[in-house]
Every structure is written in C-alpha cells, then in structure tokens.
Amino acid sequence: MSKTAIITAKDVDVFYGDKQALDKIALDIPEYKVTSLIGPSGCGKSTFLRCINRMNDLVPIARVEGDIRIAGQDIYAPEVDVVALRAQVGMVFQKPNPFPKSIYENVAYGPKIHGLAKGKTEMDELVQWALEKAGLWNEVKDRLDQPGTGLSGGQQQRLCIARTIAVKPKVVLMDEPCSALDPIATAIIEELIDELRQNFTIVIVTHSMQQAARVSQRTAFFHLGTLVETGPTKNIFTSPEDERTQNYITGRIG
C-alpha cells in the first residue's frame, strides 16, 4: 500500500529559549488521511503541530530548525509568506474560539480576506457549503446573523471547523479539538472528522487513545520531545514496537 505524503518533516528541532522541546522529529503525513499525534502531556505534540502552519512564529522565544515541506515546498524558506501558508494549512484550537461576530461573518471572514468569493451570492454559497460540511447548517441556518459566541460549546467548535474549511485549505490541524466538549458533542465532531477526510488532510492532537483509534488512520507517538513510533493506527494500538508506546497505551505512563 503506497501512500502519498503531503507533509514531510525531517530533523525538526524546536527550542523555547534554551529549552529544547522537540528533538530530531522526522514524520511523513499522508494526504487525505487522518493522522493523530499522541503522547503524555508536555511531550511536544502541540509544538510540532504549530510548526506545520508556523504558529510558533508568534512565540518570540521559539526557534525552529530542520526541514518541513508541504507538497514538496519548504515552508520555512525565506520567500514563503506565512499568511499564504496559513491559508493552505488551517488550524482548529483546543478551546472553541469563534470571533465575537455573527455566525455568517465568522465563516465568511477567511474567504473575504483571501478573496475567495466574488459577490454576495458566491459568498452565501461558500458559507453554506462550509457550514454543511461542518454539520452545522441545519442548526444555524435560521440565525446566521446571531453571534457565534451564543452557540453551545460543541456548536462553536464546529463553527470553528467551518470557518477553517471555508478557506479550502489543503491541511487542517486540530489541537485537542474535543477536550472542552462533552461526549455527545465529541462524537459528532469525530464523525465529522471522518467525513472531512474526503477533502482534507487532517492532523489531530488528542489525549484520548480511543479517539485516536476511532478517527485516525495513522498515529504518531511522542515522548519527551522525541518521536518514538509512527505507523498505521491499528498497528500502534495492537502491536507497538517500542516499549514506551506499549506502556503509554496501556496507561502505565502519561
């Protein structure tokens, strides 16, 4: 079975000041698949995720070394525009963070700044498409002009997903998207992630082993800033090669 890697990372080191948070990470992420990053708290999952759309640029003390390519292009090359990169690599955060504006404006904001829709009707269609994809359309179609912050937590997170995919990125990064949600909202989002796989490559950080097993095709296990093991999710959970992985999935560390 041959897969196409859309993201390739080699020798990625990240430092926060003097402290090294990631050590020589090499990871390939296949296209149109869900890849989950798991590992104990503080092992550097979020740090790695934030390298992929260069959100670490916002941390003044952070330094990223190594080579990360998306579709063959080095995203840390000097000529790369972070803004263009983030339009291609969207991100959904741990806590739902809709803009305190209307639902419609939340979704339309990305297409607007990137000039993806011409005219009102095209924008309306795009907003509807994104909300449908995020499984939110039926719940909000009658109150698009109400503030996004008035939705429930799970709805807000789906709104954030809709907002991200409205830009039609290649890759969607999700950092513990369900950790602030109840089990029912979580189940809805997991289902959603599975569907989004048709159109997007998804990288998800999660603390829940079950979630990783349910939604992802590939899993990467991080430990103390290193990538210990990566492979098809089935293999990682049934026959891990490394003892640390074994310990983690059986609950002995973490």
Partner 1 sequence: MTDLISPSSQLKGRKSAETRFQWYGRGAIFVSLLFLVVMVGSILTKGVGAFGTTNVAIEVDLGPDAIDPANPADARFEKIVKDALKTQFPEAKKRKDRRMIYGLLSNDMGFELERFVEANPEAIGGTATVWFRASDDFDAVAKGAVDRSLPEDERRMSDKEIAWIDQLTEQGAVERTFNWSFFTNGDSREPELAGILSALMGSALTLLVCFCISFPVAILAAIYLEEFAPKNRFSDLIEVNINNLAAVPSIVFGLLGLSMFLNTFGMPRSSPLVGGLVLSLMTLPTIIIAARASLRAVPPSIREAALGMGASPVQATFHHVAPLALPGILTGTIVGMAQALGETAPLLMIGMVAFIVDVPDSILEPATALPVQIFLWADAPERAFVEKTSAAIIVLLLFLVTMNIIAILLRRKFEKRF
Partner 2 sequence: MATVDTNTPHDALDLVNSQRKKGVEFVVMAILILCSLVAVLVTVGIVLSLIFEAYRFFERIPMTEFLFGTQWSPQTALRADQVAAEGAFGAVPLITGTLLISFIAMCVATPLGLMSAIYLSEYASKRFRDFVKPALEILAGIPTVVYGFFAALTVAPLLRSGGESVGLNVSSESALAAGLIMGMMIIPLISSLSDDVINSVPQAMRDASLGLGATHSETIRKVVLPSAIPGVAGALLLAASRAIGETMIVVMAAGLAANLTANPLEAVTTITAQIVALLTGDQEFDSAKTLSAFALGLLLFVVTLCLNIIALRIVRKYQEQYD
Restricting to residues 59-98, which ones interact with partner 1 according to CB under 8 A?
60, 83-88, 90-91, 93, 95, 97-98
Instruction: Give least dist CB 117 to ligand ATP, A.
Output: 35
Query: Are the beta carbons of 175 and 183 closer than 8 angstroms?
Result: no
DSSP letter string, 189-201: HHHHHHHHTTT-E
Q: Nearest-5° angle of CA 38, CA 237, CA 177?
A: 35
Tell me the C-alpha distance between 201 and 207, whole Å. 20
Paired residues of 65 in beta bridges: 13
Of positions 22, 49, 87, 144, contacts partner 2 by CB under 8 A? 87
Restricting to residues 94-113, which ones interact with partner 1 according to CB under 8 A?
95, 97-100, 109-110, 113
Query: Are the beta carbons of 230 and 29 closer than 8 angstroms?
Result: no
Quick one: CA dihedral 216, 222, 225, 227, positive or negative?
Answer: negative
43 binds, among partner 2, Mg ion, ligand ATP, none (CB under 5 to 8 A by kind): ligand ATP
Rg from Cα positions in the chain: 18
Contact region for Mg ion (CB under 5 A) — 12-20, 39-47, 73-81, 187-195? Answer: 39-47
Of positions 20, 24, 30, 147, contacts partner 2 by CB under 8 A? 30
Cα torsion 45, 46, 52, 54 to 10°: value is -150
1 binds partner 2 (CB under 8 A): yes
56 binds Mg ion (CB under 5 A): no
72 binds partner 2 (CB under 8 A): yes
Of positions 5, 8, 15, 16, contacts ligand ATP by CB under 6 A? 16
Q: Which tokens is 215 given?
A: 């939604």
H helix or E strand, kind and range, residue 82: helix 82-88
Of positions 22, 34, 70, 202, contacts partner 2 by CB under 8 A? 70
Where along the sequence are the contacts to partner 1 (CB under 8 A)?
A: 53, 55, 58, 60, 83-88, 90-91, 93, 95, 97-100, 109-110, 113-114, 160, 163-164, 167
Where along the sequence are the contacts to partner 2 (CB under 8 A)?
A: 1-6, 8, 28, 30-31, 70-73, 75, 79-81, 83-85, 87-88, 114-115, 170, 230-232, 235
